[in-house]
Amino acid sequence: MSRFQRAIVVGASSGIGEALALRLARAGAQVAIVARREEELQRVAKEDPERLHPYVHDVADLDGTTALFERIEADLGGVDTLVYAAGVMPGVEEGEYSFEKDRAMITVNVLGAMAWMNLAAARFEAARSGTLIGISSIAGERGRRGNPGYCTSKAALSTYLESLRNRCSRYGVNVVTIKPGFVDTAMTRGMKGLFWVISADEAARRSLAIAQRGRSSGGFVPARWALVAWVVRLLPSFIFKRLNF
Ligand SMILES: NC(=O)c1ccc[n+]([C@@H]2O[C@H](COP(=O)([O-])OP(=O)(O)OC[C@H]3O[C@@H](n4cnc5c(N)ncnc54)[C@H](OP(=O)(O)O)[C@@H]3O)[C@@H](O)[C@H]2O)c1
């Protein structure tokens, strides 16, 4: 895993981000792990204190991103990989239209990603190398009735990552969009009707395998979700709006 030597994983205190950080560390990378919950970050860091370095940060503190990025850069002696896995998906009830929840999802899932990715992209473009990995979702493929704010945030993240890829791939920067299906994490715990559920570690393994290819635009995790995405995108609106998901 030589292309990932000095990594930042934002949203590394649990779930997919934690699993990605552990895998990167196991492969020999120095990894800055970023999230709000200090005790969870400490728990993750204990797995490999030599390689996992905790930084407590709320991505909603958008103005604090630059200072923290620079601090991590100085601590690690540079950064060649940024993984943005932070995300929230509060439950939305039938008949509920909560701007507070929508704002939280857009702030964490989209604005936070832009704040971190822009800083990394500028450096990677100048260095003519580097990898940006964004954890988006199959939920961004269509606007489903169940959670408009979440679908919007993931569609925005996927589009942002595509633009970033088109902007900096010519400078040797690899921008990878990962679109998981259902993953067994705190985010999905207790949810009904899930299928093809994989573990966070399996999601991390598959995500890094895609990113490792280099010059890959990303993919669905696992790949069979590409078929679902294809069908879902083809469904005409008059059918899609009758569906209950
Ligand atoms: N689970 C799934 O089925 C699934 C499917 C598709 C995509 N995804 C995406 O995968 C990503 C990881 O989610 P997960 O399933 O692993 O859920 P998770 O276990 O709840 O992890 C979410 C991570 O985001 C961090 N986070 C949330 N708000 C934050 C904030 N304001 N500032 C900093 N960090 C914040 C959390 O850390 P703190 O709470 O400590 O801050 C945590 O580390 C998300 O982007 C999610 O949308 C998940």
Give dist(CA 181, CA 17) in Å, integer.
Answer: 15
> Can you give the pLDDT at residue 1?
52
Distance CA 230, CA 150 (A): 20
Question: Separation of 77 CA from ligand 1 center, angstroms?
Answer: 27
Structure confidence by residue, pLDDT tens digits, 90-133: 999 999 999 999 999 999 999 999 999 999 999 999 999 999 99
Vertex 177 angle, CA 143 and 88, to 5° = 55
Residue 150 catalytic? yes
Instruction: Name the percent of the chain lying above pLDDT 90.
Output: 95
For the whole model, what pTM was predicted? Answer: 0.98
Residue 235 backbone zone (phi > 0: left; psi -120 to 50: alpha; other: beta): beta
Task: Give one word for 214, left, alpha or beta, with left for phi > 0 and alpha for psi -120 to 50.
Answer: left
Domains of the chain, CATH where assigned: 6-240 (3.40.50.720)
The string of DSSP letters for 155-178 reads HHHHHHHHHHHHHHGGGT-EEEEE
pLDDT digits (tens, 9 = 90+) for 37-88: 999 999 999 999 999 999 999 999 999 999 999 999 999 999 999 999 999 9
- Which of 185, 189, 199 to mutate for ligand 1's pocket (most ligand atoms within 8 Å of CB)? 185
Q: Is 95 exposed, middle or buried (0-12, 13-18, 19+ CB in 10 A)?
A: exposed
